[in-house]
Each structure stands twice: as structure tokens, then as C-alpha cells.
Amino acid sequence: MPPLMAGERPVWHRRAGAQRPEPPITAHPARREPPVRMPVEDRSWAPAGEAPFAAGVQQPLAAVTEFGSAEFDLFDQDIAPRDAADDAFDAMDYEPDEATARDAYRPVFATSRRAEAAVGKFEEDDIAGYERAAAAIARASDILKRPVAAMPSRRAEAAPVRTAVRRSDRRMEQGERRDPAPSRLAYRMDRLWLTPLFRRFMRYGVPVLTVALAAGIYLGDADRRAAIGASFASLRSQIENRPEFMVKLMSIDGASVPVANAVRAMVTEPLPTSSFRLDLEAMRAAIEQVDAVESATVKLKPGGVLAVDIRERKPAVLWRTEASLEMLDATGHRVATLKTRGARADLPVIAGVGAEERVPEALNILAAARPVLPRVRGLVRVGDRRWDLVLDRGQRLMLPETGAVEAVERVMALDTAEEMLARDLVTVDLRNPNRPTVRLGPQAVETMKTMAANVTKVAGQ
Amino acid sequence: MTGLYQAQRAMRNMRRAAIQRGVVAILDVGTSKIACLVLKFDGDVAAREDGLGSMAGQSQFRVIGAATTRSRGVRFGEIDAIPETERAIRTAVQAAQKMAQTRVDHVIACFAGARPRSYGLAGDITLPAGQVSEQDVGRVLAACDVPDFGESREVLHAHPVNFAIDHRTGMNDPRGHVGNRLAADMHLVTIDTPAVQNLLYCIKRCDLELAGLASSAYVSGISALVEDEQELGAASIDMGGGSTGISVFIKKHMIFTDAVRLGGDHVTADISKGFHVPMSVAERIKTYHGGVFATGMDDREMIEIGADCGDWDKDRRTVSRTELIGIIRPRVEEILEEARAMLDAAGFDQLPSQQIVLTGGASQLPGLDGLAARILGQNVRLGRPLRVQGLPQAATGPAFSSIVGLSLFAAHPQDEWWDFEIPAERYPARSLRRAVKWFRDNW
């Protein structure tokens, strides 16, 4: 507000064209609303030309309802206009000594600060704010009413309180009740909040979106992603390398030395290592790839021991091929290569194309041929069809495709009864079970011829 | 008439949509209070073991939100200050929504004032085929000769009250009957258009859509009269704050309605003037100490009417209860006399049963039934609204009979003229021509 010259009238209204308001019409006392028990601003100092806003006098309704009318500016005037009396006061030569002034002002300033602090917090519709403000103003004005020694001027008395009074207080002072109606905006916001979809969106959608957005922004940077990955990896390796998780030893049970060496060579991970880095299932599968191993279990035992339990394959037959001599187990699976037949003289030999796939059958035949087992040289698979049981002295039992075991048993029975195989036979052909045939050795043929001649002679006599 | 027909039909559709959505607000714009209920429509009445829901399964709704607020800006049941009323409606609707924890978009409203006027209409048609079809009902209702009810009047209700075929009368539902001549009696209620427009404006400003409009006297009769009273003939006198509505029922139809533009607020104003006390104090005195019959005891019962002006003598005044009754009684008598005059004019004394039911906030004055019996006749009782499911205890008093009745009206509106199809020959030819033109332009 620019300072006014002496004698100049203040600008009463901010809005152009507005008239200086008439003094309010005081209602008939009998129709008056109950006066509000609230201290009112002391306007007794106001210039005489102005109508004071008396306590409890109700303003005409048009003046207090908020239709944005021009009259409302009337209540907006916090600062009273200056007039000649004020100028005269200012011109007065009065200088209180410092101590007096301080003592006199102290309570006023203190209370006015409190009042302002309280008022500063309130909002238009905040009733607690009203009450706080009213209480603070009441305290302030109570103190002001007290006689203060050497009160320097009435201006000091009134001014701080005046600044604390706001428009809403004025309205309350004039006996108007607070409007409980929500403003249109508040009403719309309230309705918006009560819309189920919006509510669900605000309650769940917005937090999720916010978090997702924040995470997206944070992880949008490649360096940051890499840093996070690196720190995660280092944390992981720290945990993995703790002594509790280290594997120091490997123990192999149930395996012969060469197999154990082979297995040991298969574990590529150098010990000691972390148990997190060992894939036991893959290790077990790899060990079971070794021909000599039938099954293996791989376990981690307390104390950092990698325990490998191996069941080896038991060689049951020798399989003679053109290139080598292999040991096979009872199922026909290869166990190992043998350099010399003499190394495992206890095992029977099989040979021929497809012999290794019929090992159980061969074993059955050999079991049936147990009585002549010392004489057995081996079994030969013929045409991947049937077996020949080869004995020493070049004897050969030609077995049928089906019922080989029964055929062998028949031969064994004949052998037991007639010592058939001890005779000079080259081949016993059992391929046709209905017509077993025997091929005699050369001497036996001669003997037969001789015997036949003798018989002829005898017959011819 | 067609415009009104369309408007009412649109409101009916809106009401159906609201009920389908499940939530509708009920608003009673009164002179002393504005009440709002939020109804939830859910068809789970059959869920009970005995197959009967509340109110014997007649209501499929539940009150989930209720709020009242002091009415400002309504006088004589009509909206006087629109912004004030709008704010009061907003207050009530917001509080009810808050209680219901849901948002409502459709509102069904009632109000007492706007000078309702009743008309009895009659019309008849010759039946083309033997049997009466629904179209015939629509035609006979359209054939009723509408009186000239003057400028700026709007039809609020148009109930078909009675049907007659040839010489048989007193039918509720003529469909399927056989005859040559179908006649209908219709009860028409008109009100001032500006009052409706103001209410529409207020409701529109509250972002709500109007799904129905009813006369307060009519709906309070629905809720305050029991079934046999409605059947045999009764009058409901809804004594509100600024207006006293009268509705006469027989055979479950309202046949007459009118309003006295006097109410409880006038009693309060009399007390205020008589004792020189503020309106709020007068209202309190009336509520706590009011009455209409003075006894000797009342001479000694002194009432502190205290004021707060700071003048000790004025603030310490007392009056005897007799003095108070002396102020209240003439005004109440005046209201009842006016009501009596209206009932006489309506021919209420011709009805088989002449039950009178007093309801509304102002009917809570002690001794009112005795006074009413002297003026209106012996068959007077005080009426409270029906109990509906979920209604808060605070809203079960007679002051809430119109809003409860409006809830029932929202759930089961009586057939009105616009519920029947408009007969085809009444469609304006111009619209048909426009349709043809549109077809030709676009195809």
C-alpha cells in the first residue's frame, strides 16, 4: 500500500465501480441470532466516520453469503484506512525510552505471535483451526485488556491483533455459522473417490505402477544393471566359497584300482571346490558311462567328502572278435578288453556275428552243458541265427535256433547214458529236433565199414 | 402433453437403469430438513428359509446410507434460494454416500410444495376387438380429456384410478375383459413448473440424474397408511415444516391431493415472534415443551426462554407452558382447519372409511391427535412410516414418512399414464415423415 499523503482519502475498494457500503442494517433486537461469544476486534480507535462492526450485530444476509458480490470486499479490509487522526498521531513527538517500550510490547508481541502461529495453520473449513485461532485471539485480547504500565500507544495495543484476524474470523464474529456443505470440488472429489473402479485403481494400480516405473527408471541404465549383476555374483561366490560348502576329498568305494583311476580322472573339477559347483547327477551319469561300472551313487558326506559308491560289472563271458578279446557281463555289456585268453581262463568264450547280443542265451546253453564243461572250447554264433557248441577234439554240437538248451540237455543225457561225446564224432547236428544227425570221425567210419562187412559176411554165410 | 409424456418415460427408463445398477438415492427436499437415503437393490429376498423377505418380500431393497441435513433455502416446500438448496442437497447426498460407501448417480426426489392441484379425468373409447389389450388401455388413457390447467403447470402424477367396461365399473385391470366400450378415470396432479425446474437444476448441479419425481403428500400416504386404510379410504395429512400435504386414498389409489402452505415452521415463527426469541430457541422450546392442550399444571410450569444478548433481564425471562400453548394452538388449529376445508372440498366425507392419519415432523406435537380429532373427525391416528430394511433408528420417526414412502415408490411405482404405450395414431406424423426422410437420405 503506498503511503498516503496527509489528508488524502484511502482507496476503499479494490474493485472499480464499487460503492462505499452503507452501514449495516441492525436487525431488531428481538429477531437477533444468539450473539457469538467471541472476542471481537477492537475498533474503538477507528475513525468516527466509519461504522464500527459491532459485536453480535448480524450483517444482512446478502453481505455474508459468498456470491462473489462486491459487498464482500467490505470484510476483506484488514487494514483500516489511514486518516488525519493517524497522521496526527505519527506526527506526535513521543519517544518512549527503550526499556519501557520493550516491557510494554513484550506480552503483545508474544501473544500476537502465538495467535498468528495458530491462525496460520487453519484452513477455510477446519473447525479446529477456527477454535485454535479464536482461543489464541482471545488470549491475545485478554492480555491487551490488562492495564499495562506505560503503554505507549493505542496503536501498539491493536495493531498486532488486527493483523491476525482474517476474513473467516470476521464472518464468525458476525454470527454466521460455518457452512457444513462441501464445496462443489470437494463433493466431486468425494464422488470420484467413491467410484469403485477409480478407488481400486488408486489403491492397487497406482502403487504398482509407481514401483514399476521407479524400477524401470532405475534399471534402464545398462551400467547399473551390470553393477547389480556383478555385486550379486560376488555375493554368490562369497557364499559358495564358505568353508562349510567346500568339498575337499573324493572317496571311491567298490571299484578296482583301474576303474577307480578312471573314475577319478572323470571328475574334472579340481578339489577342493564348492559343493555348489558340483553337479552330482551329471557326475553320476558320467561315471556310469564307464563300461566297467554297472551303477554308481555320488553323495556329499559331511566333512567335505565326495563319496562315490561304485558297483562294478562282473565279467561272465569272453567275446572273441577278429580284432580283440572283450569281457562281457551276464547281460552282454562290455566290461573290458582282455589281452590274452589265459588272463581269464575261467570264463567261456563266445564268438561269431551277433554273439555279444545273446549273452544270456549263451550262458544258459553253457549252464546246460555243465557236464562237459571242461571240454567246451566255446560257443559260436552261426549266421546270427543259432549256436554251435564247440568242444575240444574238433567236436561241434550244432544247436537249433529255438530250444537250444533242450537240445544240449538231450545230448548231455545221451552222453551220460552212452558216453556219446567220448566217441569219435565230429558233429552232432541237432538243428532239426526230429532228426538229430551225427557225423562220425574217419576212424569211426572205417570201423563202421569193417563191422558192416563182417555183418554182411555173417549174413552171407 | 407429449413432451411431458416423453420426459416421464425417460425418467422411468432412468429408474429402471438405476435399479439394474443396484444403487439409487432417494431425496426428500423438505422445508426443515433435506433427507437422503441410498437404496441398494438386490434380489436376495428369497434367501430366507420361509421364503419371505422383509415386508413379506414386497421390498427388494435395503437402505445402505442415510443422512439428513438442515434445509436452507426451501420455503413452503419449494426451492427458494437455489445455491443454498443445492449445497444442502450436496451435504445430504455426500453424507449418505459416505455411509453407503458407494457413489450414486441416480436420484428419485419428492417435494411438498409447488401448489399441487388434483384433477379427475374421464375418457372412453369404443373397443375395436372384443378383448381389451394393453394398447386399448393406452388409448383410453390418451382419450381422457385433459383440462386446461393453465400456464406453467406440469403434470406430476397421472394415475389411472378406475376402469369401466360397458356397465361394469371398479376395475383395476381391464386387460383381457370383453366389451364394447372402455372408460377410464384418471387422477392427474399438476404442480408449478418453476418449482420442478428449480429442483432439476439443483439436482443437475449436484451431478445427479433425476430418475423419478413424486409428490411428497402422495408418497407419505404410501408409507403412513396401512393397506386396508388405503383400500377403504383414508386421508394422510403430512405436516411438514413449511407445507402440510393432504392425500386421499381409496382402493389403493390416490384420488385427491392438496397442500396447505402452513407447517411447523410457522408455529416456530409464531413462538419466536411472541416471545422475542431467536428461531433456534423457539424451535427448541417448541420441541421440548410444546403442546396443544393446556392444563392447570401448565400454568406453574415455567420455561426458561433465555437469550444471549447480555441484557440480564432479557436473558432471564421465563414463560409458562400455558403461554406457549396459547401461541402454538391457534396456528395448529389453523392448519387443521385448512386441511379440513380441503378434505370437505374433496368430498372426503363420502368415503366409506374416513380414517385420517397424521404424519410428518410437525405431527409429533404432544396432544395433536386429540386436537385433530376435534377438528377433523373421530378417526384420527398418528402415523409413522413403514419399517424398511436397513433404515436407521433415527430415521423411523414420522418426519421420515415421505422419504420411506418414496423408497417404496422407487421400488414399486404405481402404474401411471406414461407406463402404457402411447397409441400409434397419437404419434405425430412429422416424426414419421422425418424417419422416412432419414431413410431416403441415408440409403
A288-314 pLDDT, tens digit per residue, is: 888 888 888 988 888 888 888 989 888
Question: Taking all residues of chain A, what is their mean pLDDT, rounded to a whole number?
Answer: 73
Is B47 in CB contact (< 8 Å) with chain A? no
CA distance A194 to A444: 118
CB-side exposure of B308: number of CA atoms within 13 Å?
Answer: 14
Which of B87, B207, B279, B315 best tests the A interface by mutation, with the highest count of A CBs <10 A? B87
Q: What is the residue type of A348?
A: P
Is B206 in CB contact (< 8 Å) with chain A? yes
Q: What percent of chain A has pLDDT over 70?
A: 61
Those residues whose C-beta lies under 8 Å from the C-beta of residue A165, and which sit 6 or more positions away, are A41, A78, A137
Is B204 in CB contact (< 8 Å) with chain A? no
Distance from CA of B282 to the nearest CA of A (A): 11
- Is residue A99 domain-shared with residue A204, that is, in the same domain? no
- Residue in B87, B97, B280 closest to A191 by CB: B97
- Of B43, B69, B70, B72, the closest CA to residue B58 belongs to B43
Question: In the structure, what pLDDT confidence band is assigned to residue B422 with cuts at 50, 70 and 90?
Answer: low
Q: Is residue A259 part of a domain?
A: yes
- Residue in A29, A65, A195 closest to B309 by CB: A29
What total of structural domains would you count in chain A? 4
- Residue in A31, A180, A184 closest to B69 by CB: A180
Residue A67 confidence (pLDDT): 40
Is B268 in CB contact (< 8 Å) with chain A? no
Distance from CA of A32 to the nearest CA of B (A): 6
Distance from CA of B31 to the nearest CA of A (A): 17
From chain B, the residues in CB contact with A195 under 8 A are 103
Q: Residue B212 — φ and ψ, nearest 5°?
A: 170, 155
Q: Closest chain A residue to B274 measured between Cα atoms?
A: A30
CA distance B76 to B243: 5
From chain B, the residues in CB contact with A184 under 8 A are 90, 205
Question: In the structure, what pLDDT confidence band is assigned to residue B273 with cuts at 50, 70 and 90?
Answer: very high
Q: Closest chain B residue to A28 measured between Cα atoms?
A: B276
From chain A, the residues in CB contact with B83 under 8 A are 65, 67
For strands A396-398 and A425-429, give the pairing: parallel
CA distance B13 to B7: 10
As given in the structure block, the three cell numbers for residue A218 are 532405475
CA distance A374 to A381: 20
- At A280, which CATH number? 3.10.20.310
- Is residue A328 domain-shared with residue A453, that is, in the same domain? yes
Instruction: Say if residue A232's pLDDT is above 70.
Output: yes
Task: Write the DSSP symbol of residue B350.
Answer: G
Question: In the structure, what pLDDT confidence band is assigned to residue A29 with cuts at 50, 70 and 90?
Answer: very low
Q: Is residue A22 part of a domain?
A: no
Q: What is the residue type of B137?
A: V
Distance from CA of A204 to the nearest CA of B (A): 18
B309 to A35: CB separation less than 8 angstroms, yes or no: yes
Is B299 in CB contact (< 8 Å) with chain A? no
Distance from CA of B307 to the nearest CA of A (A): 7
From chain B, the residues in CB contact with A35 under 8 A are 308-310
- Is residue A389 domain-shared with residue A253, that is, in the same domain? no
B280 to A35: CB separation less than 8 angstroms, yes or no: no
Compute the average pLDDT of residues A102-125.
Answer: 50
Distance from CA of B209 to the nearest CA of A (A): 14
Instruction: Give the Cβ contact number of residue A315 at 10 Å.
Output: 21
Is B87 in CB contact (< 8 Å) with chain A? yes
User: Taking the mean position of all CA atoms in its chain, how far away is CA B16?
Assistant: 20
Q: Is residue A348 part of a domain?
A: yes
Residue A38 confidence (pLDDT): 44
Window 60-89 of A, Cβ < 8 Å to B: 65, 67
Instruction: Say if residue A56's pLDDT is above 50.
Output: no
Residue A91 confidence (pLDDT): 57
Do residues B367 and B347 touch, judged by C-beta distance below 8 A? no
Three-state secondary structure call for residue A349 = strand
Instruction: Say if residue B255's pLDDT is above 50.
Output: yes
- Of A362, A368, A394, A364, the closest CA to residue A381 belongs to A362
Instruction: Say if residue A151's pLDDT is above 80.
Output: no
Do residues B28 and B35 touch, judged by C-beta distance below 8 A? yes
From chain B, the residues in CB contact with A33 under 8 A are 278, 280
The lowest-confidence range among A12-26, A441-455, B290-304, B386-400 is A12-26
- Is residue A270 domain-shared with residue A341, that is, in the same domain? no
Residue B424 confidence (pLDDT): 59
- Is residue A352 domain-shared with residue A418, that is, in the same domain? yes
- Is residue A72 domain-shared with residue A85, that is, in the same domain? yes
Is A33 in CB contact (< 8 Å) with chain B? yes
Residue B138 confidence (pLDDT): 85
B308 to A34: CB separation less than 8 angstroms, yes or no: yes
- Residue entry with cell 392419519: B357
Question: In the structure, what pLDDT confidence band is assigned to residue A171 with cuts at 50, 70 and 90?
Answer: low
Residue B359 confidence (pLDDT): 93
Those residues whose C-beta lies under 8 Å from the C-beta of residue B345, and which sit 6 or more positions away, are none
Is B85 in CB contact (< 8 Å) with chain A? no
Q: Closest chain B residue to A32 measured between Cα atoms?
A: B278
What confidence tens digit (pLDDT) does each residue in A335-355 have? 888 888 888 888 889 988 888
Do residues B107 and B200 touch, judged by C-beta distance below 8 A? no
Q: Where are the domains of chain B?
A: 118-190, 264-332
Question: Could you tell me the CA-to-CA distances from A310 to A269, A283, A294, A331 in Å, in that order?
Answer: 19, 12, 8, 18
Instruction: Say if residue A161's pLDDT is above 60.
Output: no
Instruction: Say if residue B177's pLDDT is above 90.
Output: no
B91 to A181: CB separation less than 8 angstroms, yes or no: yes
- Is residue A306 domain-shared with residue A319, that is, in the same domain? no
Dihedral sign, CA of B236, B239, B244, B245?
negative
Is A29 in CB contact (< 8 Å) with chain B? yes
Percent composition of chain A: helix, strand, coil (DSSP 3-state, to 5)? 50, 15, 35
Question: Taking all residues of chain B, what is their mean pLDDT, rounded to a whole number?
Answer: 86
Which ipTM did the prediction report?
0.79
Residue B9 confidence (pLDDT): 82
A30 to B277: CB separation less than 8 angstroms, yes or no: yes
Helix locations, B188-311, DSSP H: 193-205, 216-224, 227-232, 264-275, 279-289, 296-300
Is B208 in CB contact (< 8 Å) with chain A? no
From chain B, the residues in CB contact with A179 under 8 A are 87
Instruction: Say if residue A357's pLDDT is above 90.
Output: no
Q: What percent of chain B has pLDDT over 90?
A: 37
B207 to A195: CB separation less than 8 angstroms, yes or no: no
Distance from CA of A26 to the nearest CA of B (A): 14
The lowest-confidence range among A298-302, A446-450, B100-104, B147-151 is B147-151
Q: Is residue A91 part of a domain?
A: yes
- Is residue A339 domain-shared with residue A420, that is, in the same domain? yes
Do residues B282 and B274 touch, judged by C-beta distance below 8 A? no
Q: Is residue A275 part of a domain?
A: yes
Instruction: Say if residue B51's pLDDT is above 80.
Output: no
The lowest-confidence range among A37-46, A123-132, A218-227, A312-321 is A37-46
As given in the structure block, the three cell numbers for residue A67 are 456470491
Residue A290 confidence (pLDDT): 84
Instruction: Tell me how far apart the terminal alpha carbons of chain A are, to the nearest angstrom.
Output: 175
B207 to A35: CB separation less than 8 angstroms, yes or no: no
- Residue in B101, B205, B276 closest to A30 by CB: B276
As given in the structure block, the three cell numbers for residue A417 are 547214458
- Residue entry with cell 575261467: A346
- Is residue A45 domain-shared with residue A143, that is, in the same domain? yes
Q: Which residues pair with B74 in a beta bridge?
A: B79
From chain A, the residues in CB contact with B308 under 8 A are 34-35, 37
Between these two residues, A136 and A140, which has the higher pLDDT value?
A136
- Residue in A34, A67, A181 closest to B278 by CB: A34
Do residues A166 and A142 touch, judged by C-beta distance below 8 A? no
B87 to A179: CB separation less than 8 angstroms, yes or no: yes
Question: In the structure, what pLDDT confidence band is assigned to residue B4 with cuts at 50, 70 and 90?
Answer: low
- Out of 3.30.1300.10, 3.90.950.20, 3.40.1190.10, 3.30.420.40, which CATH number does the structure's domain B264-332 have? 3.30.420.40
As given in the structure block, the three cell numbers for residue B85 are 438448496
Question: In the structure, what pLDDT confidence band is assigned to residue A62 with cuts at 50, 70 and 90?
Answer: very low
What confidence tens digit (pLDDT) does each residue in B192-225 have? 988 888 999 999 999 898 888 999 999 999 999 9
Q: Closest chain B residue to A189 measured between Cα atoms?
A: B94
Q: Is residue A23 part of a domain?
A: no
Helix locations, A304-377, DSSP H: 359-368
Do residues B190 and B117 touch, judged by C-beta distance below 8 A? yes
CA distance A194 to A212: 26
Question: In the structure, what pLDDT confidence band is assigned to residue B403 with cuts at 50, 70 and 90?
Answer: very high
Instruction: Say if residue A4's pLDDT is above 80.
Output: no
Residue B278 confidence (pLDDT): 87
- Is residue A262 domain-shared with residue A296, that is, in the same domain? yes
Instruction: Say if residue A17's pLDDT is above 70.
Output: no
Asked if the bond preceding A107 is cis, omega within 30° of 0, the reply is: no
Question: In the structure, what pLDDT confidence band is assigned to residue A61 with cuts at 50, 70 and 90?
Answer: very low
- Residue in B84, B280, B310 closest to A35 by CB: B310
Residue B267 confidence (pLDDT): 94
Highest mean pLDDT out of A37-46, A264-273, B153-162: B153-162
Residue A172 confidence (pLDDT): 53
Do residues B248 and B189 touch, judged by C-beta distance below 8 A? no
Q: Residue A384 — φ and ψ, nearest 5°?
A: 50, 40
Question: In the structure, what pLDDT confidence band is assigned to residue B38 with cuts at 50, 70 and 90?
Answer: very high
Instruction: Say if residue A37's pLDDT is above 80.
Output: no
Distance from CA of A215 to the nearest CA of B (A): 34
Q: Is residue A225 part of a domain?
A: no
As given in the structure block, the three cell numbers for residue A344 are 581269464
Residue A43 confidence (pLDDT): 46
Burial of residue A278 (CB within 10 Å: 0-12, 13-18, 19+) is middle
What confidence tens digit (pLDDT) does each residue in A79-101 have? 455 666 666 655 555 454 555 54
Question: Could you tell me the CA-to-CA distances from A453 to A132, A167, A345 in Å, in that order?
Answer: 152, 158, 46
Question: In the structure, what pLDDT confidence band is assigned to residue B272 with cuts at 50, 70 and 90?
Answer: very high
The lowest-confidence range among A46-50, A92-96, B109-113 is A46-50
- Is residue A380 domain-shared with residue A262, that is, in the same domain? no
Which structural domain range is residue A45 located in?
29-173
Q: Is residue A270 part of a domain?
A: yes
Number of CB pairs, chain A paired with chain B, less than 8 A apart: 58
CB-side exposure of A269: number of CA atoms within 13 Å?
Answer: 18
Those residues whose C-beta lies under 8 Å from the C-beta of residue B284, and which sit 6 or more positions away, are none
Distance from CA of A34 to the nearest CA of B (A): 6
